[in-house]
Amino acid sequence: MNIFDALRQSHETQRTLGARLLAADDGRGDRHRAFLNLKRELAAHETAEERYFYVPLWEHDETVDPSRHAIAEHHEMDEMVESLEEMQEGSPQWSELVHKLVHKIQHHLDEEENRFFQAAGRVLTEDQKLALAVQYREEFDRLLDKESQEAA
Ligand SMILES: [Fe+2]
Ligand SMILES: [Fe+2]
């Protein structure tokens, strides 16, 4: 497994959780749980991806702009999550912003997979691609664990 496989695996989880959130109703707290799951997954992914994908990419001219763009989008998504937490869950404004967030996530993942991965593939060495996958997965697991414990 290389870094691209590792990131794609997380992306698939996010796509699934996003769809689940859009489909969730409030029966037995399903909607709240779906929101928390997506929030934690997103936060752990963004941080681990910045550390073990975008930071190494900063070192190459060709991938500075993609890194900057992606990290800016991470901030936008974080702000949307924060706004959602301040709103009345299930209100029309909340639902509207949830749709925007899920679409933003989809756009972000597609752009990473279709554009940034290709650029990164040209600048990272094969050894780096393998080593970053291990580091990404360790960090992602650690962060997700921490998020879940803090919430418990
Ligand atoms: Fe990202
Ligand atoms: Fe990503």
Over residues 101-151, the pLDDT tens digits come to 999 999 999 999 999 999 999 999 999 999 999 999 999 999 999 988 887
**Per-residue confidence (pLDDT) for residue 150, from 0 to 100:** 83
CA of 98 to the centre of ligand 2 (A): 19
CA of 131 to the centre of ligand 1 (A): 19
Ligand 2 center–CA 74 separation, angstroms? 9
Ligand number nearest CA of 72 is 1
- Quote the number of domains for the chain: 1
Ligand 2 being an ion, which residues bring their Cβ within 5 A of it?
Answer: 49, 112
Which DSSP symbol is given to 90?
A: T
- The overall longest dimension of the chain from CA atoms, in Å, is 50
Res 86 pLDDT > 80:
yes
Query: What domain range includes position 76?
Result: 3-151
